[in-house]
Amino acid sequence: MSVDFEMKFLQNFLDALQGHLSLTLASVAIGIIVSIPSGVLAHQFPRAKQPLMVIINIIQTIPGLAILALVVTFLGGRIGFLPAFIALTLYSMLPIVRNTITGLEAVPWDVSEAAKGIGMSRSQRLILVELPLAKPVIIAGLRTAIVWTVGMATLATLVGAPSFGNYIFTGLQTRNLESVLLGSVASAALALVLDAAIGLYQKRSIERTRGVVGKRSFFLLFYQFFVVMVLVLAIATIFWPAKQVDVVVGAKGYTEQHVLAGLLSAELNRAGFKTEQKIGLGSQVIFEALRGNSIDVYFEYSGTVWAGHMSHEDNPGPEVIREAVERYVESQGVYFVGFGGFENRYALAMRRDRAEALGVTSITDLAGIGESMKAGGDLEFFGRLEWIRTNQIYGVDFDEKLIFDSSMMYGAVASGEVDVISAYTTDGRIAAYDLLILDDPNNAMLSYDAMLLSSDRITKRPGVMRVLARLANRLTDANMREANRMVDVDGLPVSTAVAFLQNTVNFDYKSD
Amino acid sequence: MIEFNSVSKSYDGGVSFAVKNFVLRVNRGEVLALVGESGCGKTTTLKMVNRLVSPCSGFVSIAGKSVLDICVQDLRRNIGYVFQGVGLFPHYSVRENVSAVPSLLGWSPEAVEERCSELLALVGLPLASFGNRMPMELSGGQAQRVGVARALAAKPEILLMDEPFGALDPINRAELQGEFVRIQKSLKLTVVMVTHDVTEAMLVADRIAIMKQGRILQCDTAAGLLSSPTDDYVTKLMKTPLTRALEVSKLVSAAQTTDYFR
């Protein structure tokens, strides 16, 4: 029996909308509260202007994803609303600060002179004259900030804050174009609506300055009331208590992880525990999140911990790595539940017909002919130990090394765009596209035994731990490959793949 | 009323002086014009009265009290200030511009409204038809009238004017000068006015201080400067209005004989 863990479509959409909107508005609201005074200070004290602009410009040049990861690390692995909110607030500052300074600098000299000459104090000049005159320019900056922030809020999904990015990233991973389109269009529409709302306000306030609309314009009063209410609600969201859940299930951003998170949730729900999923977390972020008790359970891979977290550059073989990694994660304050029973390692894969034509069966055969081939790797492969070792041990190199999102990589090799890819051994697309996994006789690739890790916090819930313990060592390479194939190739929902695993494996569930 | 006590101002730390050892007394109810070329220090002198510029040495006093001992905002609110740029607040209506200073001084709304109406009538722009206009909807002459009304709003005894009519066309300029004299007499204002136009100074001011390179060359009535100049520059400067008037007169006569004006 499958558990229907996927909520209704509308509920999902409203959750994403609420997450996206509150994240954007709260960030921009705080951005305004920080940025306008900063701009004013920079204008009043010209010596502060240069350093301030340098700092804000530097923040702006850091890619959105990197700043999110940095904030998560800085907060000690905390994921969810807070890090996304901080990163977005930092990002929203540049246009507002810049336009505040520009707007204040553009106040005509004779007006400032008159304000001084009739005896206005510095703060009166600022509040009564300079800021009102700079307002149109500041609002233009605010509009830019809103549009940027709505766009960047889609990335918040990657640190576990719900947004329309959920549709985009899940869609990219599960090759569901409608989902990607829905997320993108919804996000763009939100940007347009918020921009238009400010534009309307701006237009009305200009008309008011020109005396076109009566001073106590009803519309303006209502509008201001509305805007204040929305901002208050958005800020209040920050302090709203989190949903009452027993276990937070984490997952990285690809199909297998989505399926595993679905399985964990389904089994926990079956035992009566409420769960929440944080899907699409980055490799570094997710382990930190577990250590910080922001998530409670997820499947990790031994090779990732060995090379990524323990920074080893050798490959002593699966057994040694398994033991070392188990000791390591426990030393980091997380609980090692057990191995998953399957392995998802990197492997070089080619189209079977192409490999046969060239007489290639092993990585060894690529030495010498690789230089005339194109290779495709996922975002990290060519920077990883596996590639460095492949290159050293087998003396293999390629003419071109192209980087793909993993969801695009298989299509690229199937269409002949590239000759070789860095495949994942449990990926359902290997069979679907009839790819050949090349032998690795000299162990260039690390082993990636799946391992179930849980937070220290959740070990105090014996009921949860019993469910988790039953999930250890039950899955196989074949099961996982089939589950992945259902989603990646057949385009079936994750819930169907989870149901398949539950039916096939029978995680026997008797009280003990 | 206003005294300049050996006032000096340097903008470059004492290398050169915009105003040097300036001594002058402006009497109550008098219009004093500061006349001189651009850069002779006349605007600097004017701005030291309401502390838009601070002197390096010496001090300015009003009714025997150094302006440095008066709170700068109070000082400025009680001295009207009109200048060439006008500087009306573009986001305020005419009414709000004129009301700015009385409101800052905490007058009651009724008192502010009454003063506003009084002043706009004084400068020939009735509140009923002009009160709600925005500065961008006014002509140059109208804007300058509003500027004068704003400067007079808080019933100051002293008015500082920096090239107040400089940006106006000749007809508006002559008209506004005439009205200014009328207003000044009726309100018994003490006025310090900066201009580079000797004719304007002669027509409007009771006394004229001729300035050159930060110093006063001579200060006297127009008649006194004409009859007993103490400096060649003063002689030359004071002669220009008359010389030009004669030239214009000749042109007019010639034009009349050739029927241009028939």
Of A117, A129, A133, the CB nearest to B50: A117
Geometric angle at alpha carbon A124, from A118 and A128, rounded to 5°: 95
Closest CA to A88 of A138, A161, A15, A12: A161
- In chain A, the residue whose alpha carbon lies closest to the alpha carbon of B86 is A110
pLDDT of res. A490? 85
Asked if residue A88 lies in contact with residue A23, where contact means CB atoms within 8 angstroms, the answer is yes
Two structure tokens written together for A69: 């990861």
B244 band by pLDDT with thresholds 50, 70 and 90: confident
Our CA-based measurement puts residue A48 at a distance from the nearest CA of chain B, in whole angstroms, of 24
Asked if residue A84 lies in contact with residue A68, where contact means CB atoms within 8 angstroms, the answer is yes
Domain ranges of chain B: 1-70+191-262
Question: Quick check: A114 and B87 CB within 8 A?
Answer: yes
**Distance between CA A426 and CA A57 in Å, rounded?**
43
Two structure tokens written together for A206: 């200009």
The answer to whether A132 faces chain B, any CB pair under 8 Å, is yes
Q: Is B83 helix (H, G, I), strand (E, B) or coil?
A: strand
- In chain B, the residue whose alpha carbon lies closest to the alpha carbon of A210 is B134
- In chain A, the residue whose alpha carbon lies closest to the alpha carbon of B77 is A119
- In chain B, the residue whose alpha carbon lies closest to the alpha carbon of A109 is B87
Q: How many CB pairs under 8 A join A and B?
A: 71
Q: What's the pLDDT tens digit per position in B175-196?
A: 888 888 988 998 899 999 999 8
**Distance between CA A250 and CA A277 in Å, rounded?**
6
Question: Quick check: B104 and A118 CB within 8 A?
Answer: yes
Phi and psi at residue A388, to the nearest 5°: -60, -45
Instruction: Provide long-range contacts, Cβ within 8 A and 24+ apart, for A457-466.
Output: A457/A293, A457/A296, A458/A247, A458/A296, A458/A297, A458/A335, A459/A335, A461/A246, A461/A247, A463/A271, A463/A272, A463/A273, A464/A246, A464/A247, A464/A268, A464/A271, A464/A273, A464/A296, A465/A337, A466/A271, A466/A512
Q: Is B125 helix (H, G, I), strand (E, B) or coil?
A: coil
CB < 8 Å from B in window 442-481 of A: none
Question: Quick check: B87 and A132 CB within 8 A?
Answer: no
Phi and psi at residue A343, to the nearest 5°: -130, 135
- In chain B, the residue whose alpha carbon lies closest to the alpha carbon of A108 is B87
pLDDT of res. B261? 54
- In chain B, the residue whose alpha carbon lies closest to the alpha carbon of A215 is B132
Domain ranges of chain A: 9-239, 247-343+448-505, 346-437
Higher pLDDT, A337 or B39: A337
Same fold, A9-239 and A346-437: no
Q: What is the CATH number of domain B1-70+191-262?
A: 3.40.50.300
The yes-or-no verdict on residue B36 having pLDDT over 60 is yes
- Interface ipTM: 0.83
Our CA-based measurement puts residue B242 at a distance from the nearest CA of chain A, in whole angstroms, of 34
Question: Quick check: B76 and A113 CB within 8 A?
Answer: no
- In chain A, the residue whose alpha carbon lies closest to the alpha carbon of B98 is A118
Test mutation, B44, B49, B52, B91, chain A, max A CBs within 10 A: B91
Question: Quick check: B83 and A132 CB within 8 A?
Answer: no
Of B52, B91, B133, the CB nearest to A117: B52
pLDDT of res. A348? 93
Our CA-based measurement puts residue A108 at a distance from the nearest CA of chain B, in whole angstroms, of 8
Per-residue pLDDT of chain A (512 residues; tens, 9 = 90+): 333 444 457 777 888 888 899 899 989 988 999 999 999 999 888 888 888 888 888 888 888 888 888 888 888 777 788 889 999 999 898 899 999 999 999 998 888 888 888 888 888 889 888 998 898 899 999 999 999 999 999 988 888 788 898 888 877 766 677 888 999 999 999 999 989 888 887 777 666 555 544 455 666 677 777 777 777 776 666 566 556 788 999 998 788 999 999 999 999 998 899 998 888 787 777 888 888 888 899 999 998 898 888 888 888 888 899 999 999 999 998 999 999 999 988 999 999 999 999 999 999 999 888 889 999 988 778 887 888 889 989 989 998 888 887 778 888 898 888 999 999 888 888 888 889 999 998 888 888 999 999 999 899 999 999 999 988 888 998 899 999 989 888 888 888 999 999 988 877 654 44
- In chain B, the residue whose alpha carbon lies closest to the alpha carbon of A123 is B73
pLDDT of res. A334? 92
* Residue found under tokens 């009680």: B78
pLDDT of res. A242? 57
pLDDT of res. A237? 63
CB < 8 Å from A in window 120-179 of B: 132-134, 136, 147, 150-151
Work out the percent of chain B whose per-residue pLDDT is above 70: 98
Question: Quick check: A118 and B72 CB within 8 A?
Answer: no
Phi and psi at residue B154, to the nearest 5°: -90, 25
Test mutation, B52, B54, B73, B150, chain A, max A CBs within 10 A: B73
Strands of the A335-343 sheet, one edge to the other: A275-281, A247-252, A297-301, A449-454, A335-343
Our CA-based measurement puts residue A114 at a distance from the nearest CA of chain B, in whole angstroms, of 5
A109: which chain B residues are within 8 Å (Cβ-Cβ)? Answer: 85
Asked if residue B26 lies in contact with residue B36, where contact means CB atoms within 8 angstroms, the answer is no
Question: Quick check: B81 and A120 CB within 8 A?
Answer: no
Of A111, A119, A128, the CB nearest to B87: A111
Phi and psi at residue A158, to the nearest 5°: -70, -20
A116: which chain B residues are within 8 Å (Cβ-Cβ)? Answer: 52, 76
* Residue found under tokens 């208590």: A241
Question: Quick check: A111 and B150 CB within 8 A?
Answer: no
Of B50, B83, B93, the CB nearest to A211: B93
Mean model confidence pLDDT for chain B: 88
Test mutation, B89, B92, B163, chain A, max A CBs within 10 A: B89
Q: Is B74 helix (H, G, I), strand (E, B) or coil?
A: helix
Our CA-based measurement puts residue B52 at a distance from the nearest CA of chain A, in whole angstroms, of 7
Geometric angle at alpha carbon A70, from A67 and A76, rounded to 5°: 145
CB-based contacts of A122: which residues, under 8 Å, 6+ apart? A44
Could you give the residue ranges of the DSSP H alpha helices within A369-456? 385-394, 406-414, 429-432
**Distance between CA A422 and CA A385 in Å, rounded?**
13
Our CA-based measurement puts residue A287 at a distance from the nearest CA of chain B, in whole angstroms, of 56
User: Which string of DSSP letters, residue by residue, matches A76-119?
Assistant: TS--SHHHHHHHHHHHHHHHHHHHHHHHHHTS-HHHHHHHHHTT
Of A111, A120, A210, the CB nearest to B104: A120
State pTM to two decimals.
Answer: 0.69
The yes-or-no verdict on residue B12 having pLDDT over 80 is yes
Q: What is the CATH number of domain A9-239?
A: 1.10.3720.10
Question: Quick check: B72 and A119 CB within 8 A?
Answer: yes
CB < 8 Å from B in window 199-258 of A: 209-211
Q: What's the pLDDT tens digit per position in B44-99?
A: 999 999 899 988 888 999 988 899 898 988 899 889 998 877 889 988 899 999 99
Residue A439 class from Cβ within 10 Å (0-12 exposed, 13-18 middle, 19+ buried)? Answer: middle
Our CA-based measurement puts residue B23 at a distance from the nearest CA of chain A, in whole angstroms, of 23
CB-based contacts of A403: which residues, under 8 Å, 6+ apart? A376, A377, A378, A379, A382
- In chain A, the residue whose alpha carbon lies closest to the alpha carbon of B104 is A120
Two structure tokens written together for B40: 């002779």
CATH homologous superfamily of A247-343+448-505:
Periplasmic binding protein-like II (3.40.190.10)
**Distance between CA A452 and CA A323 in Å, rounded?**
14
Q: What is the CATH number of domain A346-437?
A: 3.40.190.120
CB < 8 Å from B in window 67-126 of A: 108-121, 124
